[in-house]
Amino acid sequence: MSFVELPHTADVKIRATAPTLETLFSEALAALMQVLYGPDRNGGEKRAIQLEAEDHESLLRDFLSEVLFIAEVDGLVFSGADIHIEGNHLSASLNGEPFDRRRHARGTEVKGISYSGLAITSDANGYMLDIVFDV
């Protein structure tokens, strides 16, 4: 795991680092699922997502918002994703399983993904993300 929870007054703030943009998006997905459902997540069921946005921050917010919507509406808990980003277009194949109250009820409800404090930066070492989940 390359993400940590940072102090925040009311919500959950995450900082993630990764060598590539795709891996950074995967880390953000893992952080969201960890907050929502705890550590016990497996695969087996696939979902595909295609999105386009104005910039990488908007693309990430849209991606995580779509994942949150699918998780809530279809009752799925995702363990990972195969993500491809070209410019501002994302295609992802999500890997998950049906929600199981005995295994997945350890987390915190996330109401949405905030634009406030959302920042993706890069340097010679890769990418860093700060993001806030509204709880």
Q: Is it the case that residue 6 has pLDDT exceeding 80?
A: no
- If one looks up domain 3-134 in CATH, what number appears? 3.55.10.10
Q: 22-50: per-residue pLDDT in tens?
A: 999 999 999 999 999 988 888 889 999 99
What residues have CB less than 8 Å from 127, skipping those under 6 apart? Answer: 17, 18, 19, 20, 21, 23, 24, 120, 121
For the full predicted model, state whether its pTM sits above 0.85: yes
Q: 50-91: per-residue pLDDT in tens?
A: 999 999 999 999 999 999 999 999 999 999 999 999 999 999
Q: Is it the case that residue 1 has pLDDT exceeding 60?
A: no
Q: Is it the case that residue 124 has pLDDT exceeding 50?
A: yes
Instruction: Report residue 75: phi and psi, to 5°.
Output: 65, 40
| Residue extents of the structural domains in the chain | 3-134
